[in-house]
Structure 1
């Protein structure tokens, strides 16, 4: 249990709460993908089938987003100013199971952004052998919490997002991005 868990045991706490954010360095190379979060599969994430429950995949992807926010320059001080990023849509693709104690390594790519929105893609891999376990595509919106509505990201954050997008747009877009959900049927039979 981390210190944040001790302070607020009755709410969801990411592993990065209370850690502030990284100082942005315009000279630092931006990796593709960003590898900002690692964690073992925790006992409380394992369900009656003996592997990580589907809701916990989203929890881990959320922790990865929080690590990205801190990479970008968004921490507690930013949120104390009444602004934050909210997830408005998520698409999960579960590929393989993960058992208790197995290491997870997360990758994150910025797919696009505009003044108010950020489009992310996450990959969850087994930390020992690199097997792809799950992916998540997410749309985030920048909000003014006091007004309860979207608002533009500050220019400095848009500039940083532009630098990340320039690096990440060189990689091909994953084939699951933007794919609708549905039962595929052979229409010729």
Structure 2
């Protein structure tokens, strides 16, 4: 994984079942996405340069519950890059036993601040993203391209 984010499970994230509710998964994946963008120089300074990133699609696959008291680690890599977009893949791991808890795929769009439209990346930014993608090595990412359907098979663990 090219990027790592680790955090404890907060008690405010737990529902009446004693495990993380749906919204905190989204929050953790959003935080991991923001940290990746910061590390790539695509946060506040990028905004000052007249560009920003919008999430165009987010898909979360829940694999198993995360209970209170746990610590989780999100490993992130860049799966794909084109002239105006890139795809981030997150894997959330329960640090207690190393098991996969959830995955997320996020499509990020390059947006001009003034135009509020999707625009091509500058060449230096595109190369930075491609370099980060090449560094995203490791095991094959799990649960890529899953869609919400009643005919889906069980997620990969």
1:59 aligns with 2:48: no
For residue 178 of structure 1, the aligned residue among 137, 142, 145 is: 145
Aligned partners of 1:110 and 1:119 also within 8 Å: yes
Contact 1:124 1:133 in 2 (8 A): yes
Give the conservation status (yes or no) of the 8 Å contact 1:51–1:100: yes
Output the aligned Cα RMSD.
Answer: 1.8
Task: Give the length in aligned residue pairs.
Answer: 152
Does residue 120 (structure 1) correspond to residue 88 (structure 2)? The answer is yes
Superposition pairs for residues 21-60 of structure 1, below 5 Å? 33-60=1-28
Structure with the bigger RCO (C-alpha within 8 Å, sep 6+) is: 2
2:51 is equivalent to residue 83 of structure 1: yes
Assess if the C-alpha contact under 8 Å between 2:62 and 2:103 holds in 1: yes
Given that 1:142 and 1:151 are in contact with CA atoms closer than 8 Å, whether structure 2 keeps it comes out as yes
TM-score, scaled to structure 1? 0.73
CA displacement at 1:175 relative to structure 2: 4.8
Give the match's secondary structure for 1:181: coil
Gaps of 5+ in 2: 153-157
Where does residue 157 of structure 1 map in the other structure?
Answer: 125
Structure 2 Cα separation of the partners of residues 102 and 79 of structure 1: 35
CA drift at 1:171? 4.5
- Asked if 1 retains the 8 angstrom alpha-carbon contact of 2:84 and 2:120, the reply is yes
Q: Deviating runs (4+, > 4 A) in structure 1? A: 170-173
The answer to whether the aligner puts 1:135 opposite 2:103 as a matched pair is: yes
* C-alpha displacement of 1:146: 2.4
Deviation at 1:41, TM superposition (A): 0.9
Structure 1 distance, partners of 2:47, 2:83, is 18
Alpha-carbon separation, structure 2, partners of 1:176 and 1:56 = 20
Q: CA deviation at 1:173?
A: 4.2
Contact 1:35 1:105 in 2 (8 A): no
Q: Higher strand fraction: Structure 1 or Structure 2?
A: 2
Contact 2:8 2:69 in 1 (8 A): yes
Alpha-carbon distance between aligned partners in 1 of 2:3 and 2:43, rounded to the nearest angstrom: 18
Q: Could you give the per-residue CA deviations for residues 75-127 of structure 1, whole angstroms, max 9, x where no partner exists?
A: 32222333211111111111111123311101011110111101111000012
